[in-house]
Amino acid sequence: MLLRLAVFGGGMVLAAMLLPGLATSYLNRAPTDDTPAKPAQASPAKYAGGKGVLLEASAGGHFFGTFTINGRKQDGLVDTGASVIAINISTARRLGISTGSLSFSAQVNTANGAIKAARVVLDRVEIGTIAVRDVEAMVLPDKSLSGMLVGMSFLNRLSSYRVENGALHLTR
């Protein structure tokens, strides 16, 4: 019963995370060469004092940043509609996650159809002066996601986040 609830909950988390809207502009829909599209270049984080980071909105109104995940740099899209951080398999490998030992047991329905996902815990997620340990994430197939979405499993660990004057303010 608990396993079914966990699988259902994981499915709901991913469904909410990958619904059309902000996330679908970042998702890889139908590449002609079966290679995931590259996400927009992240703008450098600006420091807002000792505990804060400012991310300027892209031309499309999205907030991209260069994060350090488990000691490795990775560009990501901040998505308040995503329940957890979502990464694709290739990104997981680059971040040092052993994908061979992952259990892709959660079947979730996304805008791109039903997919399998694996739950992981990232040791450390950083941007600028902000660092958070033990952050929940989901690993998805490369064809379902073209990079990294930074969701609420990271944002909820901050003391605050807000959008003001075209910038996302993150405070630890």
pLDDT digits (tens, 9 = 90+) for 99-145: 998 999 987 666 667 889 999 999 999 999 999 999 999 999 998 89
Q: Could you tell me the residue range of the domain that residue 140 belongs to?
A: 2-28+37-171
Tell me the whole-structure pTM to 2 decimals.
0.73
Report how far residue 36's alpha carbon sits from residue 87's, in angstroms, rounded to the nearest whole number: 12
Give the CATH number of the domain where residue 90 resides: 2.40.70.10
Judged on CB neighbours under 10 Å (0-12, 13-18, 19+), 10 is buried
pLDDT digits (tens, 9 = 90+) for 74-86: 999 999 988 899 9
HEC letters along 43-93: CCCEECCCCEEEEECCCCCCEEEEEEECCEEEEEEECCCCCCEEEEHHHHH
74/12: higher pLDDT: 74
Report how far residue 151's alpha carbon sits from residue 18's, in angstroms, rounded to the nearest whole number: 11
Strand stretches in the chain, DSSP E: 46-47, 52-56, 63-69, 72-78, 85-88, 106-110, 113-127, 130-140, 148-150, 160-164, 167-171
Q: How many domains does the chain have?
A: 1
83/54: higher pLDDT: 54
Report how far residue 79's alpha carbon sits from residue 24's, in angstroms, rounded to the nearest whole number: 11
Judged on CB neighbours under 10 Å (0-12, 13-18, 19+), 162 is exposed
Report how far residue 19's alpha carbon sits from residue 82's, in angstroms, rounded to the nearest whole number: 9
